[in-house]
Chain A
Amino acid sequence: MLVEEIMHSKIYSVTPCTSIQEALKQMKKHHVRHLPVIDGDQLVGLVTDRDLRSASPSTLAPKELQELLKRPVSEIMVAPAITVHPLDFLEDAARLLYENRIGCLPVLKGDRLVGILTETDILHRLMEIFGVNHPSQHVEVEVEDQIGILAQVANIFSDHRVNINSVLVEGNPAKGKINLVFRVQAKDLSKIVRDINRAGHRVLWPQHLSGPNQGEMT
């Protein structure tokens, strides 16, 4: 998954001499929390609502506050901003956001600003990766960490004519084991759970506290 596939190409921006007050207004109007600062066609920095708010503390007297709000964003913007390229991998962009504790990355092609990628965009994409965008439910299986194991379990779903929306492979504290986390398009999991357990794997979810399985009711 590449940055260009999920970035926003519609960009709201300000110039270095835009006032703090105006920048706040723009953010509110466009429902955004970050604005790139552009001089000519060069990206020179980034302002965030957090920076703007901490620059205008509520403890100031009204008059001082008015003065401050008239100052240009260039005084408080982050410069240079951390940026990414449209062809960067999404996971690398996510690591940049995480390691620098920031919420937004301007996307640059050469010198030109071509998009904006935010934390929310990545979270939304993550929801799709988890497969919660189709009617489906969660199945978690503990399996041996060995070649072909995913295919074995996946085959049980296809034997039951159940489509898999997503699959994640997660670590397991037990040595030699991993967990497979599926999101599958099925409301009835009873037969699948039975067959996965029979094949020697261990289903961790769904689990029932309601006591012995009632089997297939007729």
Chain B
Amino acid sequence: MNPVRLIYSEDFLHYRFNDSHPFNNKRLKLTLDLIRSFHLLDENAILAPRLATDQELTRVHDRDYIAMVKEADSGQVSCNQLQKYGLDTQDNPVFPGMHTTSALIAGGTLAAAEEVMSGRAEHTLNLSGGLHHALRGKASGFCIYNDASVAIAHIREKYGARVLYIDTDAHHGDGVQWSFYGDPDVLTLSIHETGRYLFPGTGNLYERGHDHGLGTSINIPLDAFTEDASWLDAFRKTVPRTVDRFRPDVILSQHGCDAHHYDPLTHLSTTMKIYREVPQIIHELAHKYCNGRWIAVGGGGYDIWRVVPRAWTYLWAEMTGQPLAEERIPQTWIDQWQTFSPVSLPKTLHDPEGSFQPIPRRSEITQKNQLTVQQALRLIDLVNSHIDG
């Protein structure tokens, strides 16, 4: 059996906008440490990323934008110029080495894709990837280069494979959706909190793709405060059916974990349960439909102490065929990190029953989501209907 690879470098930690910015890649350190404390990481499985080349970046980004990202930290560019490209804003301040670190992350997802497509690895994971908001010519929502789009464009060009992109971040995967909005061979599916109030505002059911790509953009916007049962119901009903209709050659999944109750940036109210089950389902689908070809990336996740390490430990455990159930967290990990954490660290990988108060208006929210799922299913059933004969 081909190995499973983790793409990682300490340099990923330089993706840091400033000290008070919510995007903090220290979470990668916390996560790897937790994975190691469960003895789930064979050090030979780690593969260093490379830098994405300009040529690879220009498949999904404008040249002038890349030039601006390279220049941004020189101190020679005016704020007005930077702001035209979404930079020097609260969300995306300029930081030293911004181009190099961002290109390294994109290169990490490219390496992850290349390992899988070449057959050298069965599954690969780049936890620093999943920067799904970056647009063709603009930084957006803490994302500079859209690593998933860069990798998908590479797979399209070099292998001509059909790619299914699954995005379970609480925010809509807008950047990736727009990158392939007209491409019938890339289907983007995003399950997220409705954009009515939340950033970036898009991700409506009716955003279905255009021209030849009509029908290959699927969106499932869930109501604010959605909990596990309703969230999982939406995922279980839509994702396997989409895979069955679209018949991808490879799956690239984004595993932002900001839909958790603890996350400070969104209003979804799920628990660790979804972060255990989502990788299981995708793993099974990858083997059933794609000969195992599965590339996974990280994404959002702003409770870096209580949510991200646990969610991504479940993910890696599943990918490497050593799935974890409801387990106690090794005391060594807690001892090592508790002094640095502003919150009390969890004792178990899962959130024990009763960890959170049930939300008000649960039945209304569940009903509303059911309706959304029904409408999405009608659109999913249209995928590939033209080749049904």
Mark each residue of chain A from 127 to 147: 1 if its CB lies under 8 Å from any CB of chain B, else 0: 000001011111000000000
CA distance A183 to B199 in the complex (A): 9
Asked if B201 contacts A187 (CB within 8 A), the reply is no
- Contacts of B174-200 to chain A: CB distance below 8 A: 174, 195-200
Query: Which A residues are in CB contact (< 8 Å) with B29?
Result: none
**Who on chain A is nearest to B261 by CB?**
A210
Within 8 A of A (CB), among B252-278: 261-265, 267, 269
Contact assessment for A214 and B197 in the assembled complex, using a CB-CB cutoff below 8 Å: no
Q: Are B199 and A209 in contact (CB under 8 A)?
A: no
Chain B residues with Cβ under 8 A from A191's Cβ? 20, 90
With A135-B141, A135-B202, A191-B20 known as contacts, the answer to whether A218 contacts B342 (CB < 8 A) is yes
CA A192 to CA B199, docked complex, whole Å = 15
Please determine whether B342 and A215 come into contact, CB atoms closer than 8 angstroms.
yes
Q: A205: nearest residue on chain B (CB-CB)?
A: B197
User: Does A185 touch B at the CB level, under 8 Å?
Assistant: yes
Interface of A is mostly: loop
Is A135 in contact with B83, judged by CB distance below 8 angstroms? no
State A111–B83 Cα separation when bound (angstroms): 47
Judge whether B90 and A161 touch: CB under 8 Å.
Answer: yes
Question: B264's closest neighbor in chain A, by CB?
Answer: A214
Chain B residues near A213 (CB, 8 Å)? 264
**Binary contact readout A190-212 vs B (1 if CB under 8 angstroms, 0 otherwise):** 11100000000000011011100
Q: Is the CB of A187 within 8 A of B89?
A: no
Q: Which one of B19, B90, B304, B340 lies within 8 Å of A160 (CB-CB)? A: B90
Residues of A32-48 whose CB lies within 8 A of B: none
A183 and B201 form a contact (CB under 8 A): yes
Q: Does A150 contact B (CB under 8 A)?
A: no
With A191-B20, A216-B20, A218-B342 known as contacts, the answer to whether A137 contacts B90 (CB < 8 A) is no
Let me know if A188 is at the binding interface, CB within 8 A: yes
Please encode chain B, from 83 to 101, with 1 for each CB lying within 8 Å of some chain A CB and 0 for all others: 1001011110100000000
Confirm or deny: A94 has a beta carbon within 8 angstroms of a beta carbon on chain B.
Answer: no
B269 touches A217 (CB 8 A): no
**Known A188-B22, A208-B264; contact A138-B197, beta-carbon cutoff 8 A:** yes
Contacts A190-B22, A205-B197, A206-B197: A162 and B264 contacting too (C-beta < 8 A)?
A: no
B305 within 8 A of A: yes
Residues of B within 8 A of A134 (CB): 201
Q: Which of B141, B267, B359 contacts A206 (CB 8 A)?
A: B267
| Residue ID in chain A nearest B300 by CB atoms | A187
Give complex CA distance A210, B83 in Å.
33
Task: Check if A188 sits within 8 Å of B265, measured CB to CB.
Answer: yes
Shortest CB distance B31–A (Å): 15
By CB atoms of chain A within 10 A, which of B20, B196, B263, B305 has the most? B20
Binary CB contact string for chain B from 125 to 161 against chain A (1 if under 8 A, 0 otherwise): 0000000010100001110000000000000000000
Q: A187-B141, A216-B20, A218-B342 are in contact. Are A132 and B195 (CB under 8 A)?
A: yes
- Give the interface centre of B21, B90, B135, B171 by most chain A CB atoms within 10 Å: B90
Q: Knowing that A210-B261, A217-B264 are A-B contacts, what are 7 other residue pairs whose CB atoms are under 8 Å apart, sorted by A's residue number? A: A187-B171, A188-B21, A208-B264, A208-B267, A210-B269, A213-B264, A218-B24
Which 9 pairs from chain A and chain B are nearest by CB?
A135-B200, A137-B199, A138-B197, A187-B199, A187-B141, A160-B90, A161-B90, A132-B201, A162-B90
A-B contact pairs, 11 of them (CB 8 A): A132-B202, A135-B199, A136-B200, A137-B200, A137-B201, A161-B89, A187-B200, A188-B91, A208-B267, A215-B342, A217-B304
